[in-house]
Amino acid sequence: MTRIVTVGAAQLGPIQRAHSRKEVVARLLSLLEQGARHGCDLVVFPELALTTFFPRWFFESQAEIDTFYEAQMPGPETQVLFDTARKLKVGFYLGYAELTQEDGRTRRFNTSILVDQTGVIVGKYRKVHLPGHAEHEPWRQFQHLEKRYFETGNLGFPVFRAFGGIIGMAVCNDRRWPETYRVMGLQGVEMILIGYNTPVHNPPAPEHDNLSHFHNELVMQSGAYQNGTWVIGVGKGGREEGVDQIGNSIIVAPSGEIVGACSTLGDELAIARCDLDLTLSYKNSVFNFAKHREPHAYGMIVERKGAIISV
């Protein structure tokens, strides 16, 4: 049996601050059309794919910050993506900054949506693992203020029945945490879509900047293998407002093998025919969770947040 989902990993080159939504959406449309031309069912865009990665700056003015958010999805500038998806019969994953009114207040999340081949939103995820910091830290070469500009996602790690399988989503830093994959694995996930913006340089630990690609691949390859799932990781690449982004977009099979990859730092589409049934030989053997997991020994994973040293 085979259940093929043909996926395009639609990497973006840099988006400068001066670039308008309209310019960016034109690039997304071009990649969506390339995907459709190559028979993709699903095209995956990066995190915060409609603007420059704005958490790199400390802004005083909330009004200025809010120019980077979408108050509607689809909105006036993004409706064309949904219309094109429907017309070309190609779905997409899109990351964006979400501004919403919930529980009687304005809330902001680092969000991704899954849109099916009829142009309908069939899944939404809000980033759980916000990296960086909440206060201005002028010593850094650039800021990473996600903990200031977003709330922690409040939707958990949901999965969705779509594209003939069970699809999950994550955003950027989520991918470094094995818990992300496992919570979706425990819901039978077959493909996890992950957009990211990852600078080559990490100000708090510059001593491993040279390992940025290795770490990016390592976490997604192990997450795929250990849960028997496809993982599609799509980044931004190139120098964006003076900050080098890794790109390094990859398509990872349930074996953990990289079976598709972008090789530039610009707008680029990498394609793979992903057989969802390749998940089975892992989910039914070494990673048959029902047979082999031992949750009685995992309590600390939920009982404590930070490490506690008691020896």
- Please report whether residue 107 would count as binding a second copy according to CB under 8 A: no
Q: Which of 182, 199, 274, 276 binds a second copy (CB under 8 A)?
A: 182
Regarding 251 and contact with a second copy (CB under 8 A), the answer is no
Report in angstroms how near the CB of residue 77 gets to a second copy at its nearest. 31
State the DSSP code for 272: E
Q: Return the H-helix or E-strand segment holding 271.
A: strand 268-275
CB of 219 to a second copy, least distance (A): 6
> What is the DSSP track for 273-285?
EEEGGGGHHHHTT
Close Cβ partners of 286 (under 8 Å, ≥ 6 residues apart): 292
The conformation of residue 201, written as its DSSP 8-state character, comes to -
Query: Which residues have C-beta within 8 Å of that of residue 91, sequence separation ≥ 6?
Result: 41, 42, 43, 85, 114, 115, 116, 117, 162, 163
User: How far is it, in rounded angstroms, from Cα 157 to Cα 102?
Assistant: 19
294 binds a second copy (CB under 8 A): yes
Which range, of 11-19, 75-83, 242-250, 298-306, touches a second copy by CB under 8 A? 298-306
Of 52-60, 74-82, 198-206, 234-242, the segment contacting a second copy by CB under 8 A is 198-206
Residue with smaller CB distance to a second copy, 96 or 225: 225
Q: Report which DSSP code applies to 49.
A: T
Active site residues: 47, 127, 172
How far is it, in rounded angstroms, from Cα 56 to Cα 145? 6
Query: For the window 204-243, what string marks contact with a second copy as x by the rule CB under 8 A?
Result: xx-xx--x--xx--xx-xx--xx-----------------
d(CA 88, CA 41): 9
Question: Considering only 54-62, 73-81, 148-156, 235-243, which stretch makes contact with a second copy by CB under 8 A?
Answer: 148-156
Give the integer Cα–Cα distance in Å for 271 and 9: 6
Q: Does 255 bind a second copy (CB under 8 A)?
A: yes
| First-to-last C-alpha distance (Å) of the chain | 52
Binding mask 47-86 for a second copy (x = CB under 8 A): ----------------------------------------
What is d(CA 58, CA 54) in angstroms, rounded to the nearest whole number?
9
Point out which residues bind a second copy (CB under 8 A).
128-131, 152-153, 156-157, 159-161, 166, 173, 176-179, 182-183, 185-188, 202, 204-205, 207-208, 211, 214-215, 218-219, 221-222, 225-226, 255-257, 281-295, 297-311
